[in-house]
């Protein structure tokens, strides 16, 4: 396992992180499987475990707290997020000072720890002044409850630029990390966000790197959906929206490329994301321990330039270029 710094900070995280958004905790058997997955990841060198206060109604944080309980705290990097409603109160959601302070304490209690390494704004809150949100996060750093903070979805390049101005004007602790969706099928962050993060030395920790499982190669054009896959879940519309003939044709071409390189599709997909030096870690999920193997294999892989060009050709994208010096 290789490690990278998170943006301009001294914090080092594994190139592959384990996320909790897909962790199933509905019964004792599911919890045992989740614990096996977490231990396999840790034993393979994964030190970064991503969570959120809204995952499984808080149970995901409680589970993660159980997992890290007997581990040296310095050996793990824990993240959580705040925004979504976790109560029925009118102040039970968003990025107000009240909600952030309340839910940070709630997350600390759930996790059974004195501090959270990385604390994200899960979404953007148009109803709260950005100054209030950033001041509160910086205050939490002063209090030692969080070490670094960042943002996740809906924080555009313009919003990141505005946040940087506020941080500079107020002398706040820096915004260290951004967690957007990013994969071969969704490259929107390359338009501006990557450049802004590179310019301000903000780390990127992408989620959904396998496009809801599409980029594992298990979905094949003209073949039945794999039993138990996300596409068979009645409530999961995201993956079904991705299963177009055009996307499946791209995946088939990528599969051929991966086969020629002697690697799994997931390994190719994750190592492609790690080609960007601004990326600190890629957050993956797993429903059984064996699914981690292809993800873990991506750490340390450097794809040759001709392979990157072939991938861009398959995806129909021009070669990525930075626009900010």
Burial of 284 (0-12, 13-18, 19+ CB in 10 A): buried
Whether 3 sits among the annotated catalytic residues: the reply is no
58 vs 90: CA distance, rounded Å:
19
Answer for the pair 160, 200: CB distance below 8 angstroms, yes or no. yes
Single out the catalytic residue among 55, 120, 149, 219.
55
**DSSP collapsed to 3 states, the chain:** CCEEECCCCCCEEECEEEECCCCCCCCHHHHHHHHHHHHHHHHCCCCEEECCCCHHHHHHHHHHHHHHCCCCHHHCEEEEEECCCCCCCCCCCCCCHHHHHHHHHHHHHHHCCCCEEEEEECCCCCCCCHHHHHHHHHHHHHHCCEEEEEECCCCCHHHHHHHHHHHHHHCCCCEEEECCECECCECHHHCCHHHHHHHHCCEECCECCCHHHHHHCCCCCCCCCCCCCHHHCCCCCHHHHHCCHHHHHHHHHHHHHHHHHCCCHHHHHHHHHCCCCCECCEEECCCCHHHHHHHHCCCCCCCCHHHHHHHHHHHCCCCCCCCCC
Distance CA 91, CA 85 (A): 8
Known catalytic residues are 55
């Amino acid at each position: 396992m290789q490690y990278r710094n998170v943006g301009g900070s001294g914090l080092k995280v594994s190139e592959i992180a384990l996320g909790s958004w897909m962790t199933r905790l509905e019964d004792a058997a599911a919890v045992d499987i989740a614990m096996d997955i977490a231990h396999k990841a840790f034993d393979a060198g994964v030190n970064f475990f991503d969570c959120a206060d809204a995952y499984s109604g808080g149970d995901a944080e409680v589970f993660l707290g159980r997992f890290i309980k007997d581990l040296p705290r310095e050996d793990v990097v824990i993240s959580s997020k705040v925004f979504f409603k976790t109560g029925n109160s009118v102040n039970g959601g968003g990025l107000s000072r009240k909600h952030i302070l309340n839910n940070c304490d709630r997350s600390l209690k759930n996790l059974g720890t004195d501090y959270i390494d990385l604390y994200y704004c899960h979404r953007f809150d148009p109803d709260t002044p950005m100054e209030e949100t950033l001041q509160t996060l910086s205050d939490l750093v002063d209090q030692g409850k969080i070490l670094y903070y960042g943002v996740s979805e809906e924080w555009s390049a313009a919003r990141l630029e505005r946040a940087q101005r506020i941080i500079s004007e107020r002398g706040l602790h820096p915004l260290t990390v951004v967690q957007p969706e990013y994969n071969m099928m969704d490259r929107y962050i390359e338009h501006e966000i990557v450049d802004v993060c590179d310019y301000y030395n903000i780390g990127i920790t992408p989620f959904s790197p396998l496009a809801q499982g599409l980029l594992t190669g298990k979905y094949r054009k003209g073949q039945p959906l794999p039993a138990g896959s996300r596409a068979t879940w009645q409530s999961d519309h995201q993956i079904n929206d991705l299963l177009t003939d055009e996307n499946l044709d791209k995946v088939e071409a990528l599969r051929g490329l991966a086969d020629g390189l002697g690697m799994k599709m997931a390994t190719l997909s994750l190592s492609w994301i790690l080609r960007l030096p601004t990326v600190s870690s890629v957050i993956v999920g797993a429903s059984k321990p064996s699914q981690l193997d292809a993800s873990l294999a991506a750490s340390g892989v450097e794809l040759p330039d001709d392979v990157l060009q072939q991938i861009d050709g398959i995806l129909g994208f021009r070669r990525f270029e930075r626009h900010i010096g």
